[in-house]
């Protein structure tokens, strides 16, 4: 439950300018997730979220700059250089790479702390990522396809 809630928090803050815990709680409620203020406070701390200034002068929750850039940069590099295709079968994500590069792709993905990722396994040019559920697999595929 905590991992799913935290994944949803990350999704919400990446799509909307949410500046308070009350706003975040309302957004989570819209998604069918109830969380009290203390729980949200712990989640914000665990995710190491920061508050940054918006163009309109308000504030919004965000990932620390170095973490957001690091993950994004790493994914772009890996995917632009070695991934040739991405597909999914239920909760499994299948990544096709150039020969010999599937283990490098898996090693990098394993280090990215994707909360809905259960585990990875790599062959020569194919990697399998086991996700917690079908929706998590679809979301990961969507995000990864944007990078190739």
For residue 48, the model assigns a pLDDT of: 85
Residue of 90, 95, 86 lying closest to 120 (CA atoms): 95
Q: Does domain 2-63 have CATH number 1.10.10.10?
A: yes
Return the domain boundaries, the chain.
2-63, 66-147
Same CATH topology for 2-63 and 66-147: the answer is: no
Enter the pTM of the model: 0.51
Cβ(120)–Cβ(131) below 8 Å: no
Q: Which of the pair, 7 or 127, is modelled with greater confidence?
A: 127
Q: Does domain 66-147 have CATH number 3.40.50.720?
A: no
Instruction: Provide CB contacts within 8 A for 39, sequence distance 6+.
Output: 5
C-alpha span between 114 and 109 (Å, rounded): 8
Question: What is the four-CA torsion angle of 119, 121, 127, 133, rounded to 10 degrees?
Answer: -30
Strand partners, 61: 51
Please tell me the predicted confidence (pLDDT) of residue 100. Answer: 85
């Amino acid at each position: 439950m905590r991992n799913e809630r935290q994944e949803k928090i990350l999704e919400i803050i990446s799509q909307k300018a949410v500046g308070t815990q009350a706003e975040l709680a309302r957004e989570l409620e819209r998604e069918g997730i109830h969380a009290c203020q203390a729980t949200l406070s712990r989640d914000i701390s665990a995710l190491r979220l920061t508050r940054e200034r918006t163009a309109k002068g308000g504030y919004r929750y965000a990932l620390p700059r170095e973490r957001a850039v690091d993950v994004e940069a790493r994914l772009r590099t890996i995917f632009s250089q070695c991934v040739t295709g991405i597909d999914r079968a239920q909760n499994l994500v299948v990544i096709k790479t150039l020969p010999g590069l599937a283990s490098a792709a898996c090693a990098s993905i394993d280090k990215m702390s994707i909360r809905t990722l259960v585990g990875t396994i790599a062959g020569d040019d194919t990697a399998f990522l086991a996700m917690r559920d079908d929706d998590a697999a679809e979301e990961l595929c969507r995000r990864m396809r944007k990078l190739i």
